[in-house]
């Protein structure tokens, strides 16, 4: 199935979400390689749980540097063997954001780096699992989603396959 696991998500997460991220990242690392960014929150929970993770870092904190890091992360994930992106956004997708292979369309200043990374991953054909806060739902404009009923990604929203080729 998958053997390259990318993780992304909010820079501010609760202790409960941090624990879930850590446990999931550790489980994924036993199945393959783990890729992650260098931010606080979700990223930190991953690289603390998986010291062998490939960390995509940035030398500054300007928005264009953070975007370049995120784009490099997602493109590297998409180029890997059997990739999947697992994301923990803190809220709903910005209304005007849609998947695209074009990074500048995804990272267009709409306000969520987590969702922009997801949009680029979907545009590049990477399967995505999204863990959302209670009462938050994924964007129906991206296609049909299902809730994973069991297994490693139980409770996540999965964008159903064959949706990815609809985006440019």
What is the residue-level pLDDT of the chain in tens, covering all 168 positions? 899 999 999 989 999 999 999 999 999 999 999 999 888 889 999 999 999 999 988 887 788 888 999 999 999 999 999 999 999 999 999 999 999 999 999 998 877 789 999 999 999 999 999 999 999 999 999 999 999 999 999 999 999 964 444 455
**pLDDT value for 165:** 45
Is the domain spanning 4-166 CATH 3.40.50.450? The answer is yes
**pLDDT value for 62:** 82
**pLDDT value for 64:** 87
Q: What SS3 string covers the chain?
A: CCCEEEEEECCCCCHHHHHHHHHHHHHHHCCCEEEECCCCCHHHHHHHHCCCCEECCCCCCCHHHHHHHHHHHHHHHHHCCCEEEEEECCCCCCCCCCCCCCHHHHCCCCCCHHHHHHHHHHHCCCCEEECCCCCCCCCHHHCCEEECCCCCCCCCEEECCCCHHHCC
* pTM exceeds 0.85: yes
**pLDDT value for 120:** 97
């Amino acid at each position: 199935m998958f053997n390259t696991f990318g993780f992304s998500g909010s820079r501010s997460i609760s202790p409960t979400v941090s624990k879930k991220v850590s446990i999931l990242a550790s489980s994924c690392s036993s199945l393959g390689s783990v890729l992650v960014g260098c931010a606080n929150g979700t990223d930190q929970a991953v690289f603390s749980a998986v010291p062998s993770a490939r960390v995509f870092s940035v030398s500054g904190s300007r928005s264009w540097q953070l975007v370049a890091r995120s784009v490099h992360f997602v493109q590297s994930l998409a180029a890997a063997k059997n990739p999947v992106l697992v994301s923990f956004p803190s809220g709903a997708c910005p209304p005007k954001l849609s998947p695209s292979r074009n990074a500048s369309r995804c990272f267009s200043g709409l306000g969520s780096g987590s969702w922009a990374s997801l949009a680029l991953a979907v545009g590049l054909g990477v399967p995505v699992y999204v863990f959302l806060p209670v009462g938050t739902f994924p964007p129906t404009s991206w296609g049909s989603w299902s809730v994973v009923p069991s297994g490693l990604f139980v409770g996540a929203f999965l964008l159903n396959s064959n949706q990815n080729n609809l985006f440019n």
